[in-house]
């Protein structure tokens, strides 16, 4: 299982240090939570944050767009250095076009489903996505409680992937910890985002190692 620490729970005044700690500690990707105060009730970073982070790490940047009108932001985040861009199916009536737009910038395209959204809604676009992110909390904040029922969606996606021969990655985001990683690993997740579990500990590298051991 790959681990993607979320910088949402890092110390923003020491962001370079906090990125390097997880990079040295075995992180596989760096997850960047973009929130617009409209699609979700919180505000975080814009493309300039991705641009600032790009030169201080060689980890792939996994950019999670929790924004309305995601198409409007795709070119700017691509230019800033995103490696994967994740768009919520709930945020646009044109998810197929959004995936195409991301790929036209040579960036990996991911689709995200909220806890209230069924897997069936994204089934038609699975052939054109590189990643599917299953939210295991309602998006907007770090440190929320994992919703165990969401593991069924991961299992359904893993089954669909096996049945169709597609090769998208399955990612989970929200409430991942030493208490919850096993259930998502068993269900078939490939990537787990972890924010507070990694950063709200004295030794983030040890937290990553624990998640990898359990997964």
Tell me the C-alpha distance between 116 and 119, whole Å. 10
Output 31 or 108, the one with its CB closest to ligand DX5.
31
- Judged by CB under 6 A, which of 47, 60, 110, 142 binds ligand DX5? 142
**Is 152 one of the annotated active-site residues of the chain?**
no
Contact flag: residue 64 with Zn ion (CB under 5 A)? yes
Alpha helix stretches (DSSP H) within 11-69? 15-24, 47-53
Closer CB to ligand DX5, 160 or 195, in the complex: 195
36 binds Zn ion (CB under 5 A): no
- Of 173, 183, 187, 208, the one binding ligand DX5 (CB under 6 A) is 173
The DSSP call for residue 147 is: -
> Could you tell me the maximum CA-CA distance found in the chain, to the nearest angstrom?
47
Helix (H) or strand (E) holding 134: strand 131-135
Q: Report whether 140 belongs to an annotated binding site.
A: yes
Give min distance, CB of 64 to Zn ion, in A.
4
Name the CA radius of gyration of the chain, rounded.
Answer: 16
Q: Identify which range of 36-44, 62-70, 89-97, 141-149 contacts Zn ion by CB under 5 A.
A: 62-70
5 forms part of the interface with ligand DX5 (CB under 6 A): no
Q: Is 11 a catalytic residue?
A: no
C-beta of 89: minimal distance to ligand DX5 in Å? 15
**Is residue 108 a contact point for ligand DX5 (CB under 6 A)?**
no
Binder of Zn ion out of 18, 33, 36, 190 (CB under 5 A): 33
Q: Which of 37, 41, 118, 143 is close enough to bind ligand DX5 by CB under 6 A?
A: 143
Q: Closest Cα partner for 115 from 33, 48, 174, 49?
A: 174
Task: Specify the long-range contacts of residues 89-96, CB closer than 8 Å, at least 24 apart.
Answer: 89/113, 89/117, 89/121, 89/122, 90/39, 90/114, 90/117, 91/39, 91/65, 91/66, 91/67, 95/122, 95/125, 96/124, 96/125, 96/128
Please name which of 8, 101, 106, 107 lies closest in space to residue 53, comparing C-alpha atoms. Answer: 8
Q: Applying CB under 5 A, which residues contact Zn ion?
A: 33, 64, 173
Which residues are annotated as catalytic?
33, 173
Annotated binding site for substrate: 6, 64, 140-143, 173-175, 195-196
């Amino acid at each position: 299982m790959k681990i993607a620490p979320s910088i949402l729970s890092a110390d923003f005044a020491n962001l370079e240090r906090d990125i390097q700690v997880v990079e040295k500690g075995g992180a596989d990707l760096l997850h960047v939570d973009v929130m617009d105060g409209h699609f979700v009730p919180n505000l975080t970073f814009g493309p300039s944050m991705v641009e600032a982070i790009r030169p201080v790490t060689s980890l792939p940047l996994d950019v999670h767009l929790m924004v309305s009108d995601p198409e409007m932001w795709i070119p700017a985040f691509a230019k800033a250095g995103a490696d994967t861009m994740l768009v919520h199916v709930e945020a646009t009536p044109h998810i197929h076009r959004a995936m195409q737009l991301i790929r036209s910038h040579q960036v990996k395209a991911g689709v995200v489903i909220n806890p209230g959204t069924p897997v069936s809604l994204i089934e038609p676009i699975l052939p054109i996505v590189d990643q599917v992110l299953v939210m295991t909390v309602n998006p907007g904040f770090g440190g929320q409680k994992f919703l165990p029922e969401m593991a069924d969606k991961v299992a359904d996606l893993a089954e669909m992937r096996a049945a169709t021969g597609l090769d998208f990655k399955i990612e989970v985001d929200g409430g991942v910890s030493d208490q919850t990683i096993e259930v998502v690993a068993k269900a078939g997740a490939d990537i787990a985002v972890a924010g507070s579990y990694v950063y709200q500990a004295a030794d983030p590298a040890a937290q990553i190692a624990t998640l990898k051991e359990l997964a």
